[in-house]
Structure formats: structure tokens, C-alpha cells
């Protein structure tokens, strides 16, 4: 079985993997196809500290998945090698345009009915393939799924070998549309999916979906995440919206506050209740002024006149 990775790393196909797929002639032909770059199988959930263990355990179910081997097919093979993948870099980074392909041998442990794969596993393999294509590209940091539409076209028989392919069909800013198909040995499409991913903000770790939406079209402003974290992401959404909108509507204040926060905090977790946060008087002043301009409860726009004003 192929080694798991989080990047597309070129790796020669092992003898044991060739033996696993040897009973499927069409798989053997793909294993010998020099236009395909054999790579380590991308796996999003190798870390022990991730919250969701579903993908990690499912992809390692040896009763359901008896064998796996991944390839990358360049959209435009290098001209100097006449389509051969021999000169491909050891790590494909940045990831050139192409198609991520994975061969699976499905066992009876994947059944939903006798001799037929469970639809949940079919959707899992499609989601795995589209997500793998996204996380393998360093240019698309921390992709989040917006939707994944799965179409079941034909039953996936068991035991059998299938090919799962994924490619990007459209890119618009931080939005990436990824298509995927599960095909049998004759090239028939058994199931397909269209997924939309939105990438995260470079340089910010462990930010939830709601913070991503608060950011909207104003990337690379660390103050957004501090303001969202400071006010909460659930019950006080209106407070966060006000505190984010007004500074961004005044570019000098926005840049000054961003630089102020960059200097005050080294990590995102320091923006929770901490001494550093308490000392951020400029941040508190900006928040209070934003809430004065857009109060939660209607009333006069009161403001204390400071000495010298």
C-alpha cells in the first residue's frame, strides 16, 4: 500500500503494490504508464491532534480498502521527455495543473448491500480525492469545503478495483471548484462529484469557518481575527460585524491597528483572555468607537470629549 503524505511526493511503485493490483490488467497498464507520475497517497488527517478521526480510520480499514496507489497526470507533460514523468521533481511544489488519480482495491468490508459498495464510502473517496488535490498545493492554504455534490450513477461492485480522479475546473480568487469521478476498468463513470473549496488566509492558523466568512474579501488583516475572537463567533455576531467594518472603512486606522496587533501578539491563542489583550488600549478604543458608531441598541451617538479636543 502506498505511503501516506500531505504533499505530492514522487515515489516509485513498490513490488508489493504491483502484486496487489496484478489481478487487474487495466490497473497493471496504468502502473506501467510512463506519462503518470507515481506519488505518495495524500492523506489529510495523519496528525493525532485533529478533531475528526473519520477519514483517518476509514482510509486505513484494510477490510474495505485492500490496496491503494496514486498518480499525478500533468496537463502539459514536459516536452523534453516526450510525455514521460521520469524528470518530474521529487516534490511537486508548486503543483502544476493536472489530474490527481488514485487506484483502490475495494474489499467486502466496504459493502452497503451484498456485492455493492456503500454509498457513504463512495462519497468519502470522492471527498478524499478533491480534498487531497487542494491540500497538496501550497498555493491553497487551509482549504475548507463549501459544498460537495455527489452523483451516484452506477453501483460500485465488490470486490473490485476503481480509479478515482480529481481536477480543478475553475478558480476565482480564494474559491476553487474541483471535479472528481470514480471509474471502473472500462472507463465507465460510476459516481461523480463537484466540490467548492475556499482557501484560508495565509499566516493565520486554526481559524474557524465563521471567522473566514467575517474576513470576506479583506484578506491578511490579523485584527479581523482578534476582533472576532474577542467578541465571540456565535451569539454576538453583530458586535463583531460592527467592530470589523468601521476600522476597515478607514484605511489609516486599519493599517495602524493591524501593525499594533502584529506587535502585541505572536500567536492566535494569545488573543483569548490574556494580559496581552488587556494591555491593548488602542484595540479597545477602536472597538468602543465602532460600537458607539453602530450601537446594538438605538440611541444618541454619545461621545466623551477628551482634553485637547
CA–CA separation, 133 and 41 (whole Å): 11
Residue-level pLDDT at 229: 45
Instruction: Find the range with the poorest average confidence among 25-39, 62-76, 230-244.
Output: 230-244
Residue-level pLDDT at 288: 75
Q: Please determine, for residue 84, whether its predicted confidence score (pLDDT) is greater than 70.
A: no
Residue-level pLDDT at 105: 95
Which tens digit of pLDDT belongs to each residue from 269-300?
A: 666 556 666 777 777 777 777 767 766 655 55
Q: Over the Cα atoms of the chain, what is R_g? A: 25
Residue-level pLDDT at 15: 94
| Overall fold of domain 4-198 | Thiol Ester Dehydrase; Chain A (3.10.129)
Burial class of residue 285 in the structure, from the number of CB atoms within 10 Å of its CB (0-12 exposed, 13-18 middle, 19+ buried): exposed
Give the global pTM.
0.62
* Coil/strand/helix, residue 129: helix
Residue (of 141, 209, 211) closest to 174 by Cα position: 141
pLDDT band at 70 (very low <50, low <70, confident <90, very high): very high
Residue-level pLDDT at 305: 65
Q: Please determine, for residue 304, whether its predicted confidence score (pLDDT) is greater than 70.
A: no
Beta-strand relationship, 41-42 and 98-106: unpaired
Q: Domain limits of the chain?
A: 4-198, 209-293
Q: Please determine, for residue 142, whether its predicted confidence score (pLDDT) is greater than 70.
A: yes
Helices (H) and strands (E) in the chain, counts: 10, 11
Amino acid at each position: 500500500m502506498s505511503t501516506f503524505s500531505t504533499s505530492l511526493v514522487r515515489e516509485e511503485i513498490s513490488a508489493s503494490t504491483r502484486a496487489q493490483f496484478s489481478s487487474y490488467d487495466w490497473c497493471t497498464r496504468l502502473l506501467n504508464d510512463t506519462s503518470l507520475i507515481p506519488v505518495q497517497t495524500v492523506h489529510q488527517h495523519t496528525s493525532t491532534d485533529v478533531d475528526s478521526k473519520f477519514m483517518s480510520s476509514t482510509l486505513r480499514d484494510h477490510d474495505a480498502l485492500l490496496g491503494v496507489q496514486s498518480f499525478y497526470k500533468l496537463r502539459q507533460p514536459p516536452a523534453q521527455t516526450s510525455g514521460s514523468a521520469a524528470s518530474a521533481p521529487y516534490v511537486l511544489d508548486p503543483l502544476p495543473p493536472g489530474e490527481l488519480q488514485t487506484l483502490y482495491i475495494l474489499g467486502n468490508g466496504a459493502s452497503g448491500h451484498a456485492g455493492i459498495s456503500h454509498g457513504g464510502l463512495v462519497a468519502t473517496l470522492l471527498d478524499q480525492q478533491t480534498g487531497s488535490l487542494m491540500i497538496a498545493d501550497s498555493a491553497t492554504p487551509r482549504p475548507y469545503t463549501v459544498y460537495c455534490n455527489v452523483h451516484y450513477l452506477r453501483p460500485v461492485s465488490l470486490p473490485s478495483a476503481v480509479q478515482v480522479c480529481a481536477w480543478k475546473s475553475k478558480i476565482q480568487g480564494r474559491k476553487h471548484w474541483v471535479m472528481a469521478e470514480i471509474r471502473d476498468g472500462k472507463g465507465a463513470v460510476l459516481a461523480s462529484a463537484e466540490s467548492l473549496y475556499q482557501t484560508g488566509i495565509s499566516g493565520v492558523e486554526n481559524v474557524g469557518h465563521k471567522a473566514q466568512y467575517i474576513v470576506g474579501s479583506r484578506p491578511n488583516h490579523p485584527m479581523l481575527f482578534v476582533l472576532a475572537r474577542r467578541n465571540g463567533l456565535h451569539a454576538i455576531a453583530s458586535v463583531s460585524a460592527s467592530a470589523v467594518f468601521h476600522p476597515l472603512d478607514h484605511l489609516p486606522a486599519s493599517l495602524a491597528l493591524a501593525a499594533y496587533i502584529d506587535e502585541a501578539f505572536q500567536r492566535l491563542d494569545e488573543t483569548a483572555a490574556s494580559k496581552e489583550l488587556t494591555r491593548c488600549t488602542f484595540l479597545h478604543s477602536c472597538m468602543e468607537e465602532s460600537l458607539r458608531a453602530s450601537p446594538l441598541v438605538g440611541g444618541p451617538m454619545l461621545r466623551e470629549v477628551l482634553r485637547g479636543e
